Chains A and B, each alone.
Chain A
């Protein structure tokens, strides 16, 4: 994980013209709901060693008990407190006040790609709906002495499974941030990571390539790498997940050698029934798989 070693600046040193007095934090928090809202200014004594979420909590405890903010672990592990701090998408719990310009107001606004519910809380249900469309893990039957996998074969999968589902990648992805209508065609970077993880899982037997191209919309990504830049887990979303997926789906669509290879290897090519099964989720797919001789049930 990259360590921000930005030099520690005195918290809120007096800075004429910006309105923040010495020893004071000035926070501009977006407050409102789906109908609209505005930035509301809060002033409070500066304290050392705080992250943005600590300051938001102090405002909540002392000045605005009904200030809505979503959070859980406050340790960068659950991915709940995503927001835009001074316009940059970040986790509030991982953004130290000392790394922000001293003496200037700090703005905190909700993630822009999702509908506002209240204050800093957005409706991220889109992500949970997409999650339902992912055809789940489908292993072959375990051998008598259990599955074996080599560490080297799962390193990449483990990188993908570091994802804390903060949805910052979804938030900055231009495809959905700037084009609401694309949400129904493109699953977004977080789910490209999930699909890549399944595709590269040594035990998985399902071929999702056609599905990834046609239903998950991998082609929509134009590789601007914004998702990779904001990932708090430093997952190389574009290079390690999306680009390999793009290559794989191109293979399945156009490459005659890959097509032949598929015919002679054990992965069955998708049938229309399978497509339907996939589209309705892995439970249906699993029924199909257990009826098929080429991939076992579990």
Chain B
């Protein structure tokens, strides 16, 4: 049996993006012994990709802004499925969290009077996003990384956690993983574990997420017996690049369509005119002639159908691709090149022009882009208590993208960076207090750890098994096609069956070569997480028979007030704590889905929505 290095801490934080770092800073502040474990090098987490900014009602640009307005915007954006208490705490505390970063050295862009500048963003009533050019996420990461390092944080880099450890009382008391660089195993004992592992994007074929976003935290929580909620609520961007490979996943701003870009299928047809629904008919141009006049005269002419709401555009693209009129690589064409002079495009869309030229050698002034729905963010996640970020399993906490509830069925831009600051801190605080309040050291069940190691190593013993990359590709194709931006009963049922087969195949994939930095082996283990996520999303999507926010059902195109009242809860078997303690069985036990009532907003907050009607 492979040796297992063992460490003992008060709090172990899994994930070193914004939420994990913020939790770590808080734990260190409280003086508890803290380990930060991350799958990549410190400072490389997906948070660095966030461009827009961090939403906080500082009121620097619009003094009228306050937490109540931010709260209302957030709930409306989430189509009221949000956990009201999370949305409230988020709106109330975000300003303090931003100002705190400034005390730690962050340099946000400034207003003329020297305060933090805020920019407008979709769904926010006032200019609210504190930002640093287009690299706000990097600024957050660096600021908190440097803060934690100067506090003396213990970091375990390039370390993948395979399973959580549980005590005899059913509480989480540690985690087992391995160092990617060496393949050596490591076990952590802890009084509390904070999951801050981010998103799930790599489960889909087209995604803006980095390789790390394989849903590890969602799966770890699920296997440890915790509840997940609303996993069907996934945010897709209708126009992400699908080709060339170097640009795959890059999001193309709606501005391209606003400035004259049109969507075409493989027959060179401007197909959006075929998808104007009755609801929008009165305000949408129904001829190319009228649509083209709108750009210069917005009062006398109606809007081009390319500017219909996001979900309408997505549904149209989805249909064209599925009926065989898509582009060669599974998308459609977004063409501004043939419609506007090169000079105009460069002037109106400078950063897009440069980004595409540099990354992909795509010249958007001469060639159409190949775009399609792209997975960007998951609103669903681990069910938590709003105030403490505590999951349904004692000793286990979750914050950031891995936690569910904050964003309801749809997230507003800028709210993810503020989410990870507010709830990263709350998770760290609650975990630290929990650790301080418990006496003695957590027990370490070496046999349990050994069984996890045995499971992880089993992939090396599958002689002649499938290549894990091939199974991953098939998983991505399956969920992209069947559990993508537009869903329907028959496809979801098919997905459920195909996922069951893929889960069986994934158990038998083989890892070749040695244990040191072996990406094929890592993929085999990441596949376990992605399959768990895909299963939860599919089951939730089947059960939520309505369209709401990021979850769109072709067969139930409208929101249903009854479904507004419930969270779709996915868990293993019969409820919290019932998950296999050893966890060695990947996804052992059946994942079940149950609608359960969501927390009810108190009167004084629900009044906010009536007042503004």
A contact residues vs B (CB 8 Å cutoff): 1, 3-5, 8, 33, 47-51, 54, 60-62, 65-80, 93-94, 96, 98, 117-119, 121, 123-124, 128, 131-132, 134-137, 139, 142, 146-151, 154, 157-158, 161-165, 198, 201, 204, 281-283, 298
Contact = CB atoms under 8 A, between A and B. Distances in A.
Interface in B502-548: 511-514, 516-521, 523
B211 A154 contact: no
A247 B14 CA distance: 43
Interface of A is mostly: loop
A61 B245 CA distance: 14
Given A33-B516, A66-B514, A118-B516, A72 B212 contact: yes
Interface residues of B, number: 68
Given A50-B244, A161-B142, A283-B152, A201 B105 contact: yes
A268 B102 CA distance: 23
B517 to A, nearest CB: 4
Interface string B140-154: 001000110111100
B245 A50 contact: yes
A132 B362 contact: no
A124 B42 CA distance: 11
Interface of B: 40-46, 48-49, 99, 102-105, 107, 109-110, 113-115, 132-133, 135, 138-139, 142, 146-147, 149-152, 155, 157, 181, 210-212, 243-247, 249-250, 354, 357-362, 467-470, 473, 511-514, 516-521, 523
A20 B521 CA distance: 31
A66 B513 contact: yes
Nearest to A136: B150
Given A47-B245, A61-B469, A201-B107, A77 B49 contact: yes
Contact of B511 (A65, A93, A98): A65
Contacts, number: 184
A164 B516 contact: no
B318 to A, nearest CB: 24
A73 B139 contact: no
A149 B469 contact: no
A5 B103 CA distance: 41
A65 B468 contact: yes
Nearest to B519: A60
Contacts of A136: 105, 146-147, 149-150
A54 B104 contact: no
B512 A75 contact: no
Nearest to A124: B41
A137 B105 contact: yes
Given A61-B469, A154-B107, A69 B519 contact: yes
Contact of B49 (A75, A80, A201): A75
Nearest to B142: A161
A3 B139 contact: no
B210 A73 contact: yes
A68 B518 contact: yes
A117 B181 contact: yes
Contacts of A79: 44
A66 B520 contact: yes
Contact of A281 (B103, B115, B150): B150
